[in-house]
Structure 1
Amino acid sequence: MKLRHIAIAAIISAAACGATAQNIATPKVKADFKERQEKVANPAYFTVFDRNLTPQQREALEFLYAYMPLPDIADYSGDFFLTNVDATLRARKEMPWGKNIPDREWRHFVLPLRINNEALDNHRPEFYAELKDRVKGLSMKDAILEVNHWCHEKATYEPSDSRTHSPLATVSSAIGRCGEESTFTVGALRAVGIPARQIYTPRWAHTDDNHAWVEAWADGQWYFLGACEPEPVLNLGWFNAPASRGMMMNTYAFGAYDGPEEVLATPDGYTNINVTTNYAPVDTITVNVTDRQGRPAAGTEVSFRLYNYGEFYPIATKTTDQHGRASLSAGIGDVVVWATDGKNFGMTKGSVGRDRNVAVTLDLTPSYTGVKEMDIIPPVASNKPVEVTPAQAAENDRRKVYEDSLRGAYTATFFTRERGEDLGRRLGLDPARVAAVMIDARGNHKTIEQFLSGVPEADRERALTLVESLSVKDRSDVPAVILADHLTAPVYDTPLYAEYILSPRIDNEALTPFRSYFSATVGKDEAARMRANPAELVAQTARDITILPDWYPGNIRMSPEAVDRSKATNAASRDIYFVAKARSLGIPARIDPVTGKTQWADAKGNWTDASFGGDSSASAKPASQGTLKLAFTKTGRIDDPKYYTQFTLSKIADGRPQLLGFPEDATWSSILRDGQKLDEGQYMLVSGQRMADGGVLSRAQFFDIRPESTVSDTLVMRQDNKGVQVIGNFNSENTYTDLASGAEKSVLSTTGRGYYVIGLLTPNHEPTNHALRDIAAVAPEFEKWGRGMILLFKDRQDAGRFDSSLLPELPSTVSYGIDTDGKIAAEIIGNLKLSTTERPVFIIADTFNRIVFVSQGYTIGLGDQIVDTIHHLGE
Structure 2
Amino acid sequence: MFSFEMEQQIEGEFERLLPLVGNRREAILCGLGELPAQEAIVMKFLYTKMTLSDAGNYSFDIFLDYARHGIFLWNRGNYKDKLPLELFLNYVLYHRVNEEEITQCRSFFYQQLSGRVEGLGMKEAVLEVNYWCAEEVTYHSTDERTMAPMAVYKTGYGRCGEESAFTVSALRSIGIPARQVYVPRWSHCDDNHAWVEAWCDGTWYFIGACEPEPVLNRGWFTNASSRAMLAHSRWFGGIPSGEEITERDGMAAVFNTLSHYGRTREVEVQIIDKAGKPVEAAEVEFEVLNYAEFFPVAALLTDPAGKVRITLGLGSIHLHAHKDGQLADRTIDTREKGDFIICLGEDRRENAWIDFDIIAPEEQPVNISALTKEQELSGVRRMREAIGKRLAKMEAACAGTRAKERILKDQAGKGLEEILKKSISNYGELGKFLLEEPEGARQDKEALLGVLSEKDYRDCKGSVLWEHFRDAIKYAGQLERGIFIHYVLNPRIYFEPLTQYREFINGFYTEGQKQLFREKPALIWEDIHGKIKEYPEREYSHLVTTPAACLSMGAGSLLSKKILFVAVCRTLGIPARIKDEDLSIEYYGEGQFKPVGNPDTATAALKLQPAKEGESWIYFTNWSLAVLEGESYRSLKLAKEEWEQEGMELRLMPGNYRIITTKRLLNGNLFAKEYYFTLQEGERKEVCLQSRDIKLRDMLTRYPLPDFEVTGEEGEAIGARDLVRSRMNLFIWLEEGKEPTEHILNELYEHKEAFQELDGGIFFMVRDRAAPENPTIKRTLSAIPGIRTCYDATDENAERISRRMYVEPGKLPLILVTDQLSGIYAVNGYNVGTADLLLRIFAEHR
Q: Which runs of structure 2 are paired with 1:347-386 in the superposition (5 Å)?
A: 347-363=329-345, 370-383=352-365, 385-386=368-369
1:854 pairs with one of 808, 825, 840: 825
1:706 pairs with one of 671, 680, 684: 680
Q: Please say if residues 316 and 332 of structure 2, whose CA atoms lie closer than 8 Å, have aligned partners that are also in contact.
A: yes
1:333 pairs with one of 315, 319, 322: 315
Q: Which runs of structure 2 are paired with 1:117-136 in the superposition (5 Å)?
A: 117-136=99-118
Give the Cα separation in 2 of the matches to 1:22 and 1:231.
Answer: 40
2:283 is aligned with 1:297: no
Note closer, same or farther for the CA distance 1:821–1:249 as it changes in structure 2 (3 Å cut): closer
Q: Which runs of structure 2 are paired with 1:489-528 in the superposition (5 Å)?
A: 489=472, 490=474, 491=476, 492-494=478-480, 495-528=482-515
Note closer, same or farther for the CA distance 1:699–1:870 as it changes in structure 2 (3 Å cut): farther
2:373 is aligned with 1:397: no
State the one-letter code of the partner of 1:393: E
Q: Which runs of structure 2 are paired with 1:189-268 in the superposition (5 Å)?
A: 189-268=171-250
Q: Please say if residues 549 and 571 of structure 1, whose CA atoms lie closer than 8 Å, have aligned partners that are also in contact.
A: no
Report the secondary structure of 2:194's partner residue.
strand
Q: Please say if residues 697 and 718 of structure 1, whose CA atoms lie closer than 8 Å, have aligned partners that are also in contact.
A: yes
Report the secondary structure of 2:146's partner residue.
coil
Report the secondary structure of 1:172's partner residue.
helix
Q: Please say if residues 107 and 173 of structure 2, whose CA atoms lie closer than 8 Å, have aligned partners that are also in contact.
A: yes
2:410 is aligned with 1:426: yes
* Residue 540 (structure 1) aligns with: 527
Report the secondary structure of 1:547's partner residue.
coil
How far does residue 455 in structure 1 lie from its aligned partner after superposition? Answer: 4.3
Give the Cα separation in 2 of the matches to 1:743 and 1:167.
Answer: 44
Report the secondary structure of 1:280's partner residue.
coil
State the one-letter code of the partner of 1:632: P
1:679 pairs with one of 653, 671, 676: 653
State the one-letter code of the partner of 1:681: G
Q: Which runs of structure 2 are paired with 1:600-615 in the superposition (5 Å)?
A: 600-604=587-591, 606-611=592-597
Report the secondary structure of 2:433's partner residue.
helix
2:667 is aligned with 1:668: no
Q: Please say if residues 811 and 829 of structure 2, whose CA atoms lie closer than 8 Å, have aligned partners that are also in contact.
A: no
Give the Cα separation in 2 of the matches to 1:206 and 1:295.
Answer: 36
* Unmatched tracts of structure 2, length 5 or more: 721-727, 750-761, 771-778, 782-787, 841-846
* Residue 570 (structure 1) aligns with: 557
2:607 is aligned with 1:623: no
RMSD, aligned α-carbons:
4.1
How far does residue 504 in structure 1 lie from its aligned partner after superposition? Answer: 1.3
Report the secondary structure of 2:573's partner residue.
coil
Give TM-score scaled by structure 1 length: 0.81
Q: 1:426-485: CA deviations, max 9, x gaps? A: 2362x3x32331222122122223422444342111111111111221111001111101
Note closer, same or farther for the CA distance 1:233–1:24 as it changes in structure 2 (3 Å cut): farther
State the one-letter code of the partner of 1:646: N
How far does residue 639 in structure 1 lie from its aligned partner after superposition? Answer: 2.5
How far does residue 215 in structure 1 lie from its aligned partner after superposition? Answer: 0.6
Note closer, same or farther for the CA distance 1:318–1:841 as it changes in structure 2 (3 Å cut): farther
Report the secondary structure of 2:255's partner residue.
strand
2:668 is aligned with 1:690: no
Report the secondary structure of 2:199's partner residue.
strand
Note closer, same or farther for the CA distance 1:863–1:362 as it changes in structure 2 (3 Å cut): farther
Query: In terms of mean alpha carbon deviation, does 185-194 or 410-419 score higher?
Result: 410-419
* Residue 648 (structure 1) aligns with: 624
Q: 1:628-670: CA deviations, max 9, x gaps? A: 11110347xx73211111111121101211122233x755339
Q: Please say if residues 197 and 214 of structure 1, whose CA atoms lie closer than 8 Å, have aligned partners that are also in contact.
A: yes
Q: Please say if residues 725 and 852 of structure 1, whose CA atoms lie closer than 8 Å, have aligned partners that are also in contact.
A: no
2:157 is aligned with 1:175: yes
2:137 is aligned with 1:150: no
State the one-letter code of the partner of 2:594: T
How far does residue 367 in structure 1 lie from its aligned partner after superposition? Answer: 11
Note closer, same or farther for the CA distance 1:311–1:726 as it changes in structure 2 (3 Å cut): closer
State the one-letter code of the partner of 2:129: V
Q: Please say if residues 342 and 656 of structure 1, whose CA atoms lie closer than 8 Å, have aligned partners that are also in contact.
A: no
* Residue 721 (structure 1) aligns with: 695
Note closer, same or farther for the CA distance 1:308–1:198 as it changes in structure 2 (3 Å cut): same
Aligned residues: 790
Identity, in percent, stands at 27
* Residue 598 (structure 1) aligns with: 585
Give the Cα separation in 1 of the matches to 2:718 and 2:404.
Answer: 40
* Residue 818 (structure 1) aligns with: 791
Give the Cα separation in 1 of the matches to 2:516 and 2:745.
Answer: 58
Give the Cα separation in 1 of the matches to 2:243 and 2:226.
Answer: 18
State the one-letter code of the partner of 1:668: W
Query: In terms of mean alpha carbon deviation, does 545-554 or 323-332 score higher?
Result: 545-554
Note closer, same or farther for the CA distance 1:736–1:468 as it changes in structure 2 (3 Å cut): same
Report the secondary structure of 2:538's partner residue.
coil
* Residue 344 (structure 1) aligns with: 326
Q: Please say if residues 760 and 839 of structure 1, whose CA atoms lie closer than 8 Å, have aligned partners that are also in contact.
A: no
* Residue 13 (structure 1) aligns with: none
Report the secondary structure of 2:568's partner residue.
helix
State the one-letter code of the partner of 2:626: S
Q: 1:672-725: CA deviations, max 9, x gaps? A: 924111122222211110001000011221232233321111111212133588
How far does residue 242 in structure 1 lie from its aligned partner after superposition? Answer: 0.3
Report the secondary structure of 2:115's partner residue.
coil
How far does residue 307 in structure 1 lie from its aligned partner after superposition? Answer: 0.8
Give the Cα separation in 2 of the matches to 1:254 and 1:776.
Answer: 48
* Residue 270 (structure 1) aligns with: 252
Report the secondary structure of 1:121's partner residue.
coil
Note closer, same or farther for the CA distance 1:634–1:872 as it changes in structure 2 (3 Å cut): farther
Report the secondary structure of 1:440's partner residue.
helix
Q: Please say if residues 214 and 227 of structure 1, whose CA atoms lie closer than 8 Å, have aligned partners that are also in contact.
A: yes
Give the Cα separation in 1 of the matches to 2:703 and 2:531.
Answer: 71
How far does residue 736 in structure 1 lie from its aligned partner after superposition? Answer: 5.5
* Residue 452 (structure 1) aligns with: 434
* Residue 300 (structure 2) aligns with: 318
Query: In terms of mean alpha carbon deviation, does 551-560 or 388-397 score higher?
Result: 388-397
Q: 1:269-295: CA deviations, max 9, x gaps? A: 332211111111110112222234443
Report the secondary structure of 1:484's partner residue.
helix
Give the Cα separation in 2 of the matches to 1:776 and 1:48.
Answer: 63
Q: Please say if residues 423 and 434 of structure 1, whose CA atoms lie closer than 8 Å, have aligned partners that are also in contact.
A: no
State the one-letter code of the partner of 1:719: D
Give the Cα separation in 2 of the matches to 1:509 and 1:99.
Answer: 40
* Residue 390 (structure 2) aligns with: 407
Q: Please say if residues 665 and 698 of structure 2, whose CA atoms lie closer than 8 Å, have aligned partners that are also in contact.
A: no
Q: Please say if residues 766 and 793 of structure 2, whose CA atoms lie closer than 8 Å, have aligned partners that are also in contact.
A: no
1:36 pairs with one of 8, 17, 20: 17
State the one-letter code of the partner of 1:758: F
Q: Which runs of structure 2 are paired with 1:40-189 in the superposition (5 Å)?
A: 43-44=25-26, 46-47=28-29, 50-189=32-171
How far does residue 44 in structure 1 lie from its aligned partner after superposition? Answer: 2.7
Give TM-score scaled by structure 2 length: 0.84
Report the secondary structure of 1:504's partner residue.
coil
Q: Please say if residues 468 and 491 of structure 2, whose CA atoms lie closer than 8 Å, have aligned partners that are also in contact.
A: yes
Give the Cα separation in 2 of the matches to 1:477 and 1:241.
Answer: 35
Q: Please say if residues 673 and 692 of structure 2, whose CA atoms lie closer than 8 Å, have aligned partners that are also in contact.
A: yes
